Amino acid sequence: MSTMSRRQFLAASATAAAAPLIVPSRVLGQPGPNDQISIGCIGLGGMGNSHRSWFTEAADDARVVALCDVDTERLAAAADWYEDGEVDTYTDFRHILDRDDIDAVVFGTPDHWHAVQTVMACQAGKDVYVEKPTSNSIAESQAMIRATREHNRIVQVGSQGRALNNFPSICEFIRSGQLGRITEVDCWHYANPEGGDAPEQTPPDHLDWDMWLGPARWRPYHANYAHGTFRWFLDFGGGNIRDRGAHVLNVLCWFLDLDNTGPTKITAKGRPPSHGNYDNPVTMDVTWEFAHRDLVVHWRQPGIDPNAPGQERPYGGVYHGTNGSLVVDGGDIGGRAWPLREAEEFEAPEGERMLRVEGHGASGNRRNWLDCIRSREEPIMPIEAGHRIASMCILGNLAYRLGRTLEFDPETERVLNDEEANRHLHEPGRGPWHV
């Protein structure tokens, strides 16, 4: 590597500016207005590495000081962006949590790790940015909420739709009654893949397989589990309904003010894969009924024709109201609305407006988190909302796996008259990894 790091090169290419004085404020219990927020990045795959890059290059008030991954090849590749001694590297995230000089952590780890790591980070006094989906079980994200509140932490979930440019206006358009009362929403998404034919084998030397599994039940390694393809296993990722669905349902819950409630009835069906290691259904239809809201929500894989006029993304939702319908594409990206394009620029009256953050999409979500670390205000994507969104996905997959309708109480968050289903709402963990 050259004597000038890529970070230094990018910084030198930008408009020169005087560096702010760093005024330590640890005695105040949170970073001060002129203090950089020190960050540890844990999990350095796709989104994890994207977060690492943004907090390193785009956030003048943050400083990445530690990196962690159970794959030493990924760890080395991420560390190569820094000069020697600029960051510390670890394969066990607990070393980062033990450091008093680190204010906040970013978790880009696989889904089955999110709950345990977030709870442990809150207990260690760290603020948290955790990737979606929030958790693998309802009991896990309930524990995440308790830890967030008990330890007074700022926890932002990495579903960035509420920070997309058009979505606050679309939210105001729908909430203000422009479509009348919303009675039904049809979400669509392309199908899950099938396949994954890797044999069981010895894990590669650069991967700590036992640590990768963490709280998940032990199983022999095969290459289809890690890295990104873990999404196509019900025990790990849960398919598109939990991956992209965490985005599509995120904006839906925001638009319809469902952040603090859940469905009352869940039905699901799907076609299982015909071959390979992946066990997610290839096609899938889920219906959530909100009897207390007189609302029905559908998840369809596939759904509407991906070549439908005006469609720009192969996923989104159609909002049917008593006065008309609106198609909204995307969730993590996108954000176009038709046939009523005016929804994209709608402005509600003062006092009824949704929060607009600085930045767009993932950048806006990250920027909002840093701002909230300083102000101690609620972030735009709080843990309670992430919990309810993840719960919808979890219940959809559970109804599919059990092959029956679930009657659910959104207040107690229990399945009625079905103890087998309720046992699936909690993941017991493995060894020391449990909440």
Please state the rounded mean pLDDT for residues 239-261: 97
| 3-state DSSP assignment of residue 409 | strand
CATH number at residue 387: 3.30.360.10
pLDDT surpasses 80 at 6: no
Please state the rounded mean pLDDT for residues 20-25: 32
- Same structural domain, 237 and 289: yes
Q: How confident is the model at residue 13 (pLDDT cuts 50, 70, 90)?
A: very low
- Same structural domain, 219 and 350: yes
Is 327 inside a domain boundary?
yes
- Same structural domain, 41 and 95: yes
- Same structural domain, 206 and 341: yes
- Same structural domain, 183 and 117: no
Q: Is the four-CA dihedral 43, 46, 50, 51 of positive or negative sign? A: negative
CB 282 within 8 A of CB 194: yes
- Same structural domain, 227 and 277: yes
- Same structural domain, 123 and 220: no
Determine the residue type at 173.
Answer: F
- Same structural domain, 231 and 300: yes
- Same structural domain, 282 and 327: yes
- Same structural domain, 204 and 284: yes
Is 9 inside a domain boundary?
no
pLDDT at residue number 157: 98
Which of 283, 288, 249, 279 has its CA nearest to residue 269? 283
For residue 224 the two structure tokens come to 């289809």
Domain region containing 271: 162-355+382-423
Q: pLDDT tens for residues 123-180?
A: 999 999 999 999 999 999 999 999 999 999 999 999 999 999 999 999 999 999 999 9
Is 412 inside a domain boundary?
yes
CATH number at residue 28: 3.40.50.720
Is 10 inside a domain boundary?
no
pLDDT surpasses 90 at 91: yes
pLDDT at residue number 304: 75
CB 251 within 8 A of CB 298: no
Is 371 inside a domain boundary?
no
pLDDT surpasses 90 at 21: no
- Same structural domain, 143 and 223: no
State which of 114, 144, 161 marks the end of a domain: 161
Please state the rounded mean pLDDT for residues 103-115: 98
pLDDT at residue number 308: 63
pLDDT at residue number 303: 85
Please state the rounded mean pLDDT for residues 317-330: 95
Please give the full DSSP string across 109-166, using - where no structure is assigned: --GGGHHHHHHHHHHTT-EEEEPSS--SSHHHHHHHHHHHHHTT--EEES-GGGGSSS
pLDDT surpasses 70 at 367: yes
Distance CA 197, CA 222 (A): 9
More confident residue, 272 or 304: 272
Is 291 inside a domain boundary?
yes
pLDDT surpasses 80 at 84: yes
pLDDT surpasses 60 at 4: no
Which of 197, 284, 277 has its CA nearest to residue 243? 284
State which of 145, 161, 177 marks the end of a domain: 161
Is 369 inside a domain boundary?
no
| Cβ neighbours, 10 Å, residue 265 | 17
pLDDT at residue number 313: 83
Which of 118, 113, 226, 107 has its CA nearest to residue 158? 107
Task: Of 23-37, 136-150, 278-292, 319-333, give the lowest mean pLDDT range.
Answer: 23-37
CB 372 within 8 A of CB 167: no
Distance CA 222, CA 202 (A): 8
Please state the rounded mean pLDDT for residues 21-27: 33
Q: What is the pTM of this model?
A: 0.91
**Structural domains of the chain, count:** 2
More confident residue, 310 or 385: 385
Q: How confident is the model at residue 26 (pLDDT cuts 50, 70, 90)?
A: very low
Q: How does strand 37-42 pair with strand 62-68?
A: parallel
Is 244 inside a domain boundary?
yes
Please state the rounded mean pLDDT for residues 363-380: 98
State which of 100, 132, 161 marks the end of a domain: 161
Residue 327 CA neighbour count, 13 Å, CB half: 16
| Cβ neighbours, 10 Å, residue 425 | 19
Residue 357 CA neighbour count, 13 Å, CB half: 24
pLDDT at residue number 23: 31
- Same structural domain, 175 and 135: no
Distance CA 308, CA 288 (A): 25
For residue 258 the two structure tokens come to 């469902």
